[in-house]
Structure 1
Amino acid sequence: MSDTALPKKLIRASRTTKSSFVLPSDTNTHGTLFGGKLMAYIDDIAAITASKHARSAVVTASADSIDFLSPIREGEVVSLESYVSWTHNTSMEVFVKIVAENVLTGKKKVCATSFLTFVALNEDGKPSKVPEAIPETKEEKYVHDGGYERMIARKARRKNSEKMASEFGSFS
């Protein structure tokens, strides 16, 4: 890892969007989007976002949270918007906002939010430094301002997961 300072990047440079109709094959017995399908969409867009910010290969370090706020129904359009919300050395926190839209009425609602963490990799597959993310909008500043506290919580959660894995890692 190099100690050379990288130029800072505006958060908007990593902003990524993706939309898709919710088809019958995407839904569960309630006629709503499978949670696992949405999770795959979230990881995919977040990886693209992190790669755009770092301009390198990335790996998912953690899916920090996915808060399902309301169902996304068959026939609606699900849109995901993501951006790198905070950075620390080699890691990037990515925020994803998920919106459902009824295309017939135009009504939109935020259905879920998610935070994931990615690590940038160099050509040798080792962690590499990432540019600092600079917020501009009210939303970006709000999300960015909580980044340090979320990192501390992630580290504590990971430490607990490592302890559980070492104590209860084998199958009975």
Structure 2
Amino acid sequence: MNNQSFKSAKESAIVLTELMLPSYSNFSGKIHGGFILSLMDKAAFTTATKFSSHYCVTASVNRVDFLNPIEVGELVTLKAKVNYVGNSSMVVGIRVISQNIMTGEKKHCNSSYFSMVAKDKNGKNAKVPGLVISDQDDLRRFLRSIEHINNRNVRKTEFSRENFNHGDYISMLKNHNVKIEI
């Protein structure tokens, strides 16, 4: 008999909203990317902990593209939920939207995926609930995460010190801004 518990992605969902202050800006007057990354990490932690009921740590971050700058005085909203679960790991999808509170104009500023791992009180990996997939978007997000994990594992193996053969790749570099002196 299977006693595993399951939760829906909606049960993990959080919304984090914060007004962007001048102290969060960089030298060009835009909100510092590191500050946004910190908010994203907070959102990922909260989402994963809410879903798993365990303390969670960030294992990796999959690609962070800053699509639009965020201005001082804008309201930033981060929407996050669990997209994938393994045994003790979860992939949390995060969407960052800024809003000019005077005009109401909204901008999609960033999307990213944080891999989080649940820990028990002794610091060991903890089992997480299974994920209920209830619509096509949930299914698409789950499958995208599987594909990303598989590709990451292939890259890790292919480019490991033990498996890498530079001769297999030199020809790929002829159209790149690089000078090879091996």
The match for 1:95 among 93, 96, 101 is: 93
Q: Where has structure 1 moved over 6 Å in runs of 4 or more? A: none
Question: Which residue pairs with 2:21 in the alignment?
Answer: 23
Query: Aligned partners of 1:81 and 1:28: how far apart in 2?
Result: 24
The Cα shift of 1:160 comes to 7.5
State the Cα RMSD in Å. Answer: 2.1
Query: Aligned partners of 1:157 and 1:48: how far apart in 2?
Result: 30
What does 1:122-161 align with in structure 2 at a 5 Å threshold? Answer: 122-156=120-154
Question: Which residue pairs with 1:8 in the alignment?
Answer: 6
Conserved? CA contact 1:65–1:114, under 8 Å:
yes
SS in 2 for 1:80: strand
Q: Under a length normalisation based on structure 2, what TM-score does the superposition of the two structures give?
A: 0.80
Which structure ranks higher in relative contact order (CA pairs < 8 Å, sequence separation ≥ 6)?
1
Q: What residue ranges of structure 2 are gaps of 5+ in the alignment? A: 163-182
Query: Aligned partners of 1:138 and 1:72: how far apart in 2?
Result: 31
The Cα shift of 1:62 comes to 0.6
SS in 2 for 1:114: strand
SS in 2 for 1:66: coil
Which has more radius of gyration? 2
What does 1:105-124 align with in structure 2 at a 5 Å threshold? Answer: 105-124=103-122
Q: Which amino acid aligns with 1:85?
A: N
Provide Cα deviations, 1:127-155, integer angstroms capped at 9, x if missing partner: 12111222335543432231101112333
Query: Aligned partners of 1:162 and 1:56: how far apart in 2?
Result: 33
Query: Aligned partners of 2:35 and 2:159: how far apart in 1?
Result: 25
Query: Aligned partners of 2:109 and 2:49: how far apart in 1?
Result: 25
